[in-house]
Amino acid sequence: MSAPLFRPIATTLIRSVFLWATLCALAIGSIQAAYSYIHVQDRFELAVREIGQTNVPLLSVSIWDIEPEAIRRQLEVIAARPEIGYVSLTVTTGQTFSAGDKGLTNDRPRRFDIPPPGRPVGVIGNLEIFENPAAFYRELIYTLGIASLGYGVLTLLICILIAYLLKRDLERPLRRVAQFASELTPNRLTIPLELARSPGHGRDEIDLVVEGFSVLQSGINSHIANLDEQVAQRTAELESALAAIHRLSTIDPLTGCFNRRLFNERIQEELDRAIRYQRALAVIFCDIDHFKRINDTCGHLLGDQVLQEAAECFRRELRGHIDWVARYGGEEFVIVLPETSLPAAIATAERLRLALTESMVALLPGLTVTASFGVTQHVPGETVQELLQRADNQLYAAKAAGRNQTLPRL
């Protein structure tokens, strides 16, 4: 037995509404809309042309007298007009002035040549005025709105007709579908959706919804058997994705060190912990000496390898799970030493300095790579910013004193 012919309910409604609405409103509305559009467009273009012609003499004097501020004020006055969206002035000397919303530019500006003051011949600038489509359409909508009041009664009749048709052919069946969906629980998945339709109504979208519920119920029943396994798989995938996202947001991709963002968060935690338990906290600033020269003479690829080797050297020499290092920016690293006094931190920095130079020998034969270190220890009452600033000052002093050294000295 063949399936009933599909007849969309929207087509039935559109045909019914079209017979009533089109005959009454389409002809009048189309004529009125076309007339209003042309009338508003002509009036709008005339207003823009008058604005340009009125301001050309004033701009001519300002350009001739070389008064940029006066030019900008005049352009702002032009752009403030509701008909204008954006205005641009190009002087023959190459200067460009503009005002308004640049996003309103289009390929059909109104152009005006600006002659010298009192001279009909010659051009000292070009003025481009872009209309404001929003103002144009506001005026057009206002005009059409006034005209629409003339056939409001017709619109009301059409709305009543549409409401009747929707209530009869759409609202009642959909209410039954909504009621069925609201009552659908796990123990009712096997109960089919049944609708009382009038005989000979034809097969339409409502019937498709009923069939869709049937397919959905069958799919849910078959899916429940392995739902727990799928949930576990999705959870593992989500955790893996979150871990990858967290790593990308906290780890410097070149060196594998913590990045500046994580450093700014974690250093405050380290300081709070040191204050709470009255423990020492030291910070070391490190800067690779003459790194720009390395990039310029050996190439950026080798420069990246220098940074990677420096980070790896620091990780080898530091205490695992206690000390940590972050790439502060460019060739600069910052090393945090919890529970470390200033003398111990200075000794650590000096050890790092020597180890760094030795580890670079194999990477850059014939070229000595050194680094400067600035060390400081937190003192009571000092903020994170003050602690870092003192360490940075020590680093700056080490570089100023000839580089390849640690300050302060023991």
Query: Are residues 260 and 403 located together in one domain of the fold?
Result: yes
pLDDT at 189: 65
Going by their DSSP bridges, the two strands 371-377 and 332-338 should be labelled as: unpaired
Structure tokens at 290: 């003459």
- For residues 322 and 294, what is the distance between their CA atoms, to the nearest angstrom? 32
- Domain boundary, last residue among 105, 139, 173: 139
Flag whether 176 is in a domain: no
Q: Would 133 be classed as within a structural domain? A: yes
Whose tokens are 């871990």? That residue is: 243
Residue 180, in any domain of the structure: no
Residue 191 domain-assigned (yes or no): no
Inter-residue contact 106 to 130 (CB < 8 Å) = yes
Please name the helix (run of DSSP H) or strand (run of DSSP E) that holds residue 13, with its range, or none: helix 9-21
The kind and range of the H/E element at 70 are helix 68-80
Q: Let me know the angle formed at the C-alpha of 28 by 25 and 30, rounded to the nearest 5 degrees.
A: 95
CB of 88 within 8 A of CB of 98?
yes
The answer to whether residue 45 is domain-embedded is yes
Residue 133, domain extent: 9-139
pTM over 0.95: no
Contact 60, 69 (CB under 8 A): no
Per-residue pLDDT 10s for the chain (410 aa) are 565 666 666 566 667 666 776 776 666 767 877 777 787 677 777 777 777 777 778 777 787 777 888 778 887 887 778 778 788 888 888 788 888 777 777 767 878 888 888 777 778 788 778 877 777 677 778 777 776 676 666 666 776 777 666 676 677 777 777 777 776 776 766 677 777 666 666 677 777 777 776 777 677 767 666 766 776 777 777 777 776 676 678 899 999 999 999 999 999 999 999 999 999 999 999 999 999 999 998 899 999 999 999 999 999 999 989 999 999 999 999 999 999 999 999 999 999 999 999 999 878 887 889 999 999 999 999 999 999 999 999 999 999 999 999 999 87
Q: Residue 29: in which H helix or E strand, if any?
A: helix 27-64
Boundary residue ending a domain (114, 139, 164): 139
Provide the b/e sequence for 112-145 (b: ≥16 CB within 10 Å).
bebbeeeeeeeebbebbbbbbeebbeebbeebbe
In a domain, 229, yes or no: no
Number of domains in the chain: 2
Contact 93, 63 (CB under 8 A): no
181-186 LR contacts (CB < 8 Å, sep 24+) = 181/213
- Nearest Cα neighbor of 265 from 245, 244, 246 is 246
Q: Residue 381 belongs to a domain with what CATH number?
A: 3.30.70.270
Report if residue 183 sits inside a domain: no
Instruction: Note whether 79 and 99 are within 8 A (CB).
Output: yes
Backbone angles phi, psi at 329, to 5 degrees: 155, 130
Beta bridge partners of 193: none
Residue where the block lists tokens 């090393």: 335
User: Where residue 97 sits, what CATH number does that domain have?
Assistant: 3.30.450
Domain boundary, last residue among 109, 139, 169: 139
Determine which helix (DSSP H) or strand (DSSP E) holds 375, and give its type and residue range.
strand 371-377
Q: Is the dihedral of CA 221, 222, 228, 234 positive or negative?
A: negative
Tokens of 384: 């994170």
Q: Concatenated DSSP letters for 211-270?
A: HHHHHHHHHHHHHGGGHHHHHHHHHHHHHHHHHHHHHHHHB-TTT-SB-HHHHHHHHHHH
The pLDDT mean for the chain works out to: 81
pLDDT in tens, 146-189: 766 766 666 667 767 776 666 766 777 777 777 777 767 767 66
Asked if residue 398 and residue 256 are part of one domain, the reply reads: yes
Catalytic residues, which ones? 331
Q: Is residue 212 part of a domain?
A: no
Residue 219 has a CB neighbour count (10 Å cut-off) of 10
